[in-house]
Amino acid sequence: MIGTFENRIFMPVLTCLNMRILQLHCDNIEYTPTKKEIKSAEDIVDLQTQRLEELVVVFVAIENGDDSSVAQNAISQIKASMEKIGCKKLLLYPYAHLSSNLAKPSTAMNLLKEMEDGASELEVSHSPFGWTKSYKIQVKGHPLAESSKVVTKDSSGLKDDNEITSDALKGESKIRSYWKILSTDGTMTNIGDFDFSKHKKLEVLAKYESAKIRKVDQPPPHVALMKKMGIADYEPASDSGNMRFYPNGRLIKSLIERYVTDRVKEYGGYEVETPIMYDSEHPSMVSYFNRFPARQYNIDSEGKKLFLRFAACFGQFLMANEYQLSYKTLPYKLYELTRYSFRREQSGELVGLRRLRAFTMPDCHAFCKDMPQAIDEIKTRFDLSQSVLKELGIDETDYDMAIRFTEDFYNENKSSIEELVKKHGRPVLVEMWKEKFFYFVLKWEFNFIDGLGKASALSTDQIDVENGKRYGIDFVDENNVKQNPIILHNSPSGAIERIIYALLEKAAKDSREGRKPQFPLWLSPTQVRIIPIKEEFDEFVEILAERISINNVRVDIDDRNESIGKRIREAEKEWIRYILVIGEKEANSQNLNIRDRQTGDVREISFDDFITEINEQTRGKPFTGLNLPKYLSKRPNLMV
RNA sequence: GCCAAUGUAGCUCAGCCUGGUAGAGCAAUUGAUUUGUAAUCAAUAGGUCAUGGGUUCAGAUCCCGUCAUUGGCUCCA
């Protein structure tokens, strides 16, 4: 799986055997018992409406398995938080709907009584047990007014629901890692001793990762650009972090997707497609969750608790399970471009295209027979990733490399690790773990550093030594013995949205530094814009556009009734590389006068030379036609 | 998720402090103009001032809640 530093455990709500409480600090509450819900309901005399003011209301669901210690635990935690908010009146409100695994009514009533007794120093009461009640409640507005909790037998007891973490994760903060810089000659230097003067971006990355130093006070420029260029935007009717892509954005994204997929297939990955949702209670998922947490979207459907995938791993592992693998067929590589993978990232983390809740991720797993084969393979994939980024328009100076491994793995594979660093050609940031904590023994990634000093990972690969076994994937080795493969998890480009983010941030930087921002030509929504000077050239222009477009070039025509100056200005604002102004002179000539945005000059060139010049720049890249009307007069403006 | 800032026409923003007729530029529409390499001219239309409450004779403006975006924290592909 890619992205192991997601630190939230999945905790199926229905399987918790703990008291669940919802605590509200209220101005007032009014409730009226209406009718008995169960036979064993509490006997009460007073059926009048009760009204209480300035109090804490605690809705309680007592679950199967709760006992006296849980009740004591709960009440002492409630008392502690009431002291914090300075409130002395408490109403315990039995509320079965917080749980679907309720305790027997008799047990519940006893525990409720026990809680009430445990708070005798407060003004405490409870609403009748087992009755249907109507109620009206006014909750206060301060931040501590509302909290929901799960109380366990454990003495540490009470935690906010979303703070529950697995043992594995609790341990994560105790991981001992050493941050170093590994140079191309194999020397390891402490970060404090390293001379960063020639490696500014690496310094940013090192500080970002190890010391958490960041300084930014403005929105990332790509957010305005993605709207202005008609690429992508927020979709208010969806959840945060789920973007809409306009025609220009879809065209760019689709071309990048196709390019990455082509490259992975060329490398030997076989493209598959797997479901986007899985049953969290399916046996193959249960143990996985306890080890590989990510916050995810959950869906309840016909009694199943489904979740949206946060990576392509499960699908490919389950599929690999169906193969009869032999050492002779390894390494075997499965690949999927997930549209989408979902991670319910914390809302405060989401910015433009940099970090999303729904994203498109190329994910290629290689199943290898042993460590030497895995190491061999990871080198090939390293080259692939470097080359893919370069061809996408992100060159080596735009990113820096981080590599993480266990101390044991380093000692046994020093030369291979150094070889990766040499391929990168510059010093890299190292995180070395004293012991294996995650499912992998090595992970490297390329981090794009944007103009504001923000680092985000693009390409990555990992050597996974656990999931083969966990998923029961096996192959037969040379000695006819079943073994579990070592699995590599590679994304050669990282998330596609993040590539677009990187390209836009690069463009913004160019613009800031006085250069003209530009997409790589093969990704430009319009590659050539034709501007006829007068209507009388319309027919000539139509034919010219056709001649250009059959050579796999995206060409459009600005036939609007606007001045030449204005139309050129707008083409420039769309970052269109080539502009052809067509008038008398051109209509009577074999040559074209092209305005080249890269130089800003107008030059005369023959038709064939022009096509050749374009095709040379787009060679080896996928092509698709215009994704907007050919005539600008037919094109509504997108004002975002 | 926590802390903070922001939310006014399709877009960018002014007005808010000090409550009393909703404002500009760009875009759109219509008309004129037929243009030679980064903005032709004129007219018209366009707004429950994010949203829900509160205070007030009166709320875009003051107060509170909610939602969204952005920054920081935490986190990371």
Q: Which residue has the tokens 């007032």?
A: A28
Q: What is the pLDDT of residues A373-395, one digit of tens each?
A: 999 999 999 999 999 999 999 99
Q: Which residue is nearest to nucleotide B40 (CA to C1')?
A: A563
Q: Which residue has the tokens 């979207």?
A: A297
Using pLDDT thresholds of 50, 70 and 90, give the confidence band for residue A498. Answer: very high
Residues 6+ apart with CB under 8 A from A168: A9, A290, A291, A293
Q: What is the DSSP string of A248-286?
A: HHHHHHHHHHHHHHHHHHHHT-EE----SEEETTSHHHH
At residue A254, the pLDDT reads 97
Question: Could you tell me the distance in Å between the CA of residue A599 and the C1' of nucleotide B75?
Answer: 43
Q: Which residue has the higher pLDDT, A491 or A97?
A: A491
**ipTM entry:** 0.88
Decide: residue A339, CB within 10 A, 0-12 exposed, 13-18 middle, 19+ buried: middle
Instruction: Indicate if CB(A598) is under 7 A from strand B.
Output: no
Average per-residue pLDDT for chain A: 83
Average pLDDT over residues A570-597: 94
At residue A217, the pLDDT reads 61
Share of chain A above pLDDT 70, in %: 84
Instruction: Indicate if CB(A456) is under 7 A from strand B.
Output: yes
* Range from A113-122, A386-395, A400-409 carrying the lowest mean pLDDT: A113-122
pLDDT at A164 over 50: no
Q: Which residue has the higher pLDDT, A5 or A18?
A: A18
* Range from A108-117, A188-197, A282-291, A571-580 carrying the lowest mean pLDDT: A282-291
Average pLDDT over residues A463-473: 91
Using pLDDT thresholds of 50, 70 and 90, give the confidence band for residue A134. Answer: confident
Question: Could you tell me the distance in Å between the CA of residue A197 and the C1' of nucleotide B26?
Answer: 45
At residue A288, the pLDDT reads 64
| Residues 521-540, chain A, CB closer than 7 Å to nucleic strand B | 533-535
* Range from A135-149, A223-237, A562-576, A615-629 carrying the lowest mean pLDDT: A135-149
Among A119-128, A194-203, A305-314, A535-544, which range has the highest average pLDDT?
A: A535-544
Q: What is the pLDDT of residues A41-50, one digit of tens each?
A: 777 666 777 7
Q: At A190, phi and psi to the nearest 5?
A: -65, 145
At residue A216, the pLDDT reads 52
At residue A12, the pLDDT reads 25
At residue A293, the pLDDT reads 52
- Per-domain residue ranges of chain A: 19-151, 177-182+226-502, 521-634
Closest CA to A383 of A489, A492, A265: A492
Do A226 and A504 meet the contact criterion of CB atoms below 8 Å apart? Answer: yes
Helix (H, G, I), strand (E, B) or coil at A580: strand
At residue A215, the pLDDT reads 45
Instruction: Indicate if CB(A66) is under 7 A from strand B.
Output: no
At residue A292, the pLDDT reads 52
Tell me how crowded residue A96 is: count the other CB atoms within 10 A of its CB: 18
Q: What is the pLDDT of residues A250-261, one digit of tens each?
A: 999 999 999 999
Q: Which residue has the higher pLDDT, A153 or A556?
A: A556
Q: Which residue has the higher pLDDT, A498 or A135?
A: A498
Using pLDDT thresholds of 50, 70 and 90, give the confidence band for residue A150. Answer: low
Do A234 and A296 meet the contact criterion of CB atoms below 8 Å apart? Answer: no
Q: Which residue has the tokens 């070889």?
A: A419
pLDDT at A334 over 60: yes
Give Cα separations from A159 to A77, A103, A277, A430, A488 (angstroms).
10, 21, 29, 35, 37
Instruction: Indicate if CB(A169) is under 7 A from strand B.
Output: no
At residue A141, the pLDDT reads 54
Q: Where are the beta strands (DSSP E) in A415-514?
A: 428-433, 440-449, 455-464, 475-476, 482-483, 486-491
Nucleotides of B under 7 A from a protein CB: 1-3, 10-12, 27-28, 32-40, 64-66, 68-77
Handedness of CA A337, A168, A346, A401 (dihedral sign): negative
pLDDT at A559 over 70: yes
Residue A364: DSSP 8-state: E
The one-letter amino acid code at A462 reads: Q
Q: Which residue is nearest to nucleotide B68 (CA to C1')?
A: A236
pLDDT at A84 over 70: no
Q: Whole-angstrom Cα distance, residue A17 to residue A451?
A: 49
Residue A271, strand partner residues: A335
Instruction: Indicate if CB(A569) is under 7 A from strand B.
Output: yes
Tell me the CATH class for A521-634.
alpha beta
Largest interatomic CA distance in chain A: 103
Q: Which residues of A416-452 are buried (b: 16+ CB within 10 A; e: fewer)?
A: bbbbbbeebebbbbbbbbeeebbbbbbbbbbbbbbbb
Closest CA to A62 of A133, A138, A126: A126
Nucleotide nearest A452 (Cα, C1'): B71
Residue A15: DSSP 8-state: G
At residue A110, the pLDDT reads 79
Tell me the CATH class for A177-182+226-502.
alpha beta
Do A233 and A227 meet the contact criterion of CB atoms below 8 Å apart? Answer: yes
Nucleotide nearest A533 (Cα, C1'): B35
pLDDT at A117 over 60: yes
At residue A6, the pLDDT reads 27
Pick the CATH number of A19-151 from 3.40.50.300, 3.50.80.10, 3.40.710.10, 3.40.1280.10: 3.50.80.10
